Chains A and B, each alone.
Chain A
Amino acid sequence: MKRYLNFFIALIAIQGDLYAAEAGMPQLDPKYWASQAFWLILVFTVLYFSISKFYLPKIKNNLDDRENRIKDDIEDANKSKELSESKLKEYEKILEGAKKEVIKIQLESKAKLDKDIHEKKEKIEKEIEKELIQAQKEISELKKNSISDIHNISREIAANIIENISGDKLNESSIKAAVEEISKKNVGKYL
């Protein structure tokens, strides 16, 4: 309760103060009006001229510079973009051309390779055939030779055996005839 009482006393006191203040508004005292007007005009004039002649052009210049710079940059960027797009197209064209060429070269080389292989194959086949014929010839010759060789060897062996067993030398022509007879009978079995 005492607190509220204090509050009201204070309020009343301050209200009294307020009314006292209203009696004297310093703003309405004309004593320094001329002085205020004079200094206001002086200060504001100085402020106005230094702002309008010095600072605003600077700010404006800077803002314009920035705007121009941004514009230029955007223009440059657009130009670069166009350039890169055209280069990309060019590149794609070149790439396509190259791809076509690659396919062409591939086909060509394949054909050439096929032809080469074919030729070589034929050549080799011919050679092989030749060699085969040669070999066959050789083989048949060898066969012939070997038969006569066999005759000779068997004749010698027969003569030797007979000599060793009987101690007698047999007539060569008879041995030959005997061997030839047997071999005629049996060669067909082994050859």
Chain B
Amino acid sequence: MASNPMQQFSVHKIGPEIKIAGIDLSFTNASLFMIISASIILLFLFFGTKEKKIVPDKIQLIAEMFYTFVAKMISDTAGSKAKPYFPFIFSLFMFVLFCNMVGMLPYSFTVTSHIIVTLILALFIFIAVTIIGFVKHGFKYLSIFVPSGVPVVLLPLITVIEIISYLSRPVSLSVRLFANMMAGHTMLKVFGGFVISLGLLGGWLPLGFSIALTGLEILVAFLQAYVFAILTCIYLNDALNLHH
């Protein structure tokens, strides 16, 4: 019978247990795949920037395309003021994208399918954006909760809604990525299980679905990385430009 489709998300220790101040920080398969993803990014960038050609070769072209893609995304959504944050958003986009893509390989582990990972990224972005907002505008940053042009009667209600929506940003950001990745991989596993259990006679249909879903999941992997990065840009834009 098909194995548990959630099995693929289980984290297990690799190597010896590492405990610092009573907290278990052991090296796990999640850590391994984080390192693999990061290594692929660094290796890719290493070969992409190894030779400085006026007419780039393929890998250099791809590296430059990533650069211009993220640069354009930032300048389109957050303007020129966001330039100092370009390395962070570039790293974020690349990390999420490569974690998602590495997760698409059979027998691999999807780092971004864990709520704790996406939540930490989202919380870091949320806190950093809030700090940037207060540093740039002082208490005027609070005016982000009071949109202009709203009737006075509605103002208290709108403000409350705005505060809730602001505070829910890290949750929506992290859950969006985590849920997408988890759902997709679970679905793939379930259909994979159908193929096995229905055998030669009935397995072709779920196999077709499986193939189609793999394509869809690759799209989702890219899309979610893009969405993650672009939402970060939008939040950054709110903090930097303060016109709601």
Interface residue? B204 (CB, 8 A): no
Which stretch, A57-65, A74-82, A115-123, touches the partner chain B? Answer: A57-65
Using Cβ atoms and an 8 Å threshold, which residues of chain A touch B24?
31-32, 34-35
Report whether A63 and B64 are in contact in the complex, using a CB–CB cutoff of 8 Å: yes
Q: How many residues of A contact B (CB 8 A)?
A: 47
Using Cβ atoms and an 8 Å threshold, which residues of chain B touch A31?
11, 24
Report whether B2 and A17 are in contact in the complex, using a CB–CB cutoff of 8 Å: yes
Report whether A50 and B6 are in contact in the complex, using a CB–CB cutoff of 8 Å: no
Q: Least Cβ distance of B54 to chain A in Å?
A: 6
Among B30, B49, B182, residue most surrounded by chain A Cβ atoms (within 10 Å): B49
CB contacts under 8 Å to A, within B8-48, are 9-11, 13, 18, 23-28, 30-31, 34-35, 38, 41-42, 45-46, 48
Report whether A47 and B91 are in contact in the complex, using a CB–CB cutoff of 8 Å: yes
Among A21, A40, A44, residue most surrounded by chain B Cβ atoms (within 10 Å): A40
Q: Tell me which of A6, A25, A28, A39 contacts B27 (CB under 8 A).
A: A39
Residue of B nearest to A2 (CB): B201
Q: How far is the CA of A25 from the CA of B26 in the complex (A)?
A: 20
Interface residue? B120 (CB, 8 A): yes
Residue of B nearest to A13 (CB): B1
Report whether B117 and A40 are in contact in the complex, using a CB–CB cutoff of 8 Å: yes
Report whether A32 and B202 are in contact in the complex, using a CB–CB cutoff of 8 Å: no
CB contacts under 8 Å to A, within B165-221, are 178, 182, 186, 190, 193-194, 197-198, 201-202
Using Cβ atoms and an 8 Å threshold, which residues of chain A touch B60?
62
Interface residue? A91 (CB, 8 A): no
Q: How many residues of B contact A (CB 8 A)?
A: 61
Using Cβ atoms and an 8 Å threshold, which residues of chain B touch A47?
38, 41-42, 91, 94-95
Interface residue? A27 (CB, 8 A): yes
Interface residue? A52 (CB, 8 A): yes
Q: How far is the CA of A3 from the CA of B200 in the complex (A)?
A: 11
Which stretch, B82-90, B100-108, B142-150, touches the partner chain A? Answer: B82-90
Q: Tell me which of B38, B52, B67, B201 contacts A46 (CB under 8 A).
A: B38
Using Cβ atoms and an 8 Å threshold, which residues of chain A touch B88?
48, 52
Report whether A32 and B11 are in contact in the complex, using a CB–CB cutoff of 8 Å: yes
Q: Tell me which of B11, B34, B54, B116 contacts A66 (CB under 8 A).
A: B54
Using Cβ atoms and an 8 Å threshold, which residues of chain B touch A139?
none
Report whether A6 and B202 are in contact in the complex, using a CB–CB cutoff of 8 Å: yes
Q: How far is the CA of A37 from the CA of B28 in the complex (A)?
A: 11
Interface residue? A43 (CB, 8 A): yes
Report whether A36 and B197 are in contact in the complex, using a CB–CB cutoff of 8 Å: no
Report whether B198 and A21 are in contact in the complex, using a CB–CB cutoff of 8 Å: no
CB contacts under 8 Å to B, within A1-23, are 3, 6-7, 10, 13-14, 17-18, 20-22
Using Cβ atoms and an 8 Å threshold, which residues of chain A touch B5?
17-18, 21
Report whether B68 and A3 are in contact in the complex, using a CB–CB cutoff of 8 Å: no
Residue of A nearest to B36 (CB): A43
Using Cβ atoms and an 8 Å threshold, which residues of chain B touch A24?
6
Report whether A55 and B120 are in contact in the complex, using a CB–CB cutoff of 8 Å: no
Q: Least Cβ distance of B15 to chain A in Å?
A: 12
With A17-B1, A17-B4, A21-B6 in contact, do A44 and B28 touch (Cβ < 8 Å)? no
Interface residue? A41 (CB, 8 A): yes
Q: How far is the CA of A65 from the CA of B54 in the complex (A)?
A: 8
Using Cβ atoms and an 8 Å threshold, which residues of chain B touch A62?
49, 52, 56, 60, 64
* A-B contacts, 25 listed (Cβ < 8 Å): A13-B1, A17-B4, A21-B6, A21-B186, A24-B6, A26-B10, A28-B115, A32-B11, A34-B23, A36-B114, A36-B117, A38-B23, A39-B25, A39-B30, A40-B121, A44-B34, A47-B94, A47-B95, A55-B42, A55-B48, A55-B49, A55-B63, A62-B49, A65-B54, A66-B54
**B residues near A, CB below 8 A?**
1-2, 4-7, 9-11, 13, 18, 23-28, 30-31, 34-35, 38, 41-42, 45-46, 48-49, 52, 54, 56, 60, 63-64, 67-68, 86-88, 90-91, 94-95, 111, 113-117, 120-121, 178, 182, 186, 190, 193-194, 197-198, 201-202
Q: Which 6 A-B pairs have the closest CB atoms?
A: A52-B87, A39-B31, A21-B6, A58-B49, A26-B10, A55-B45
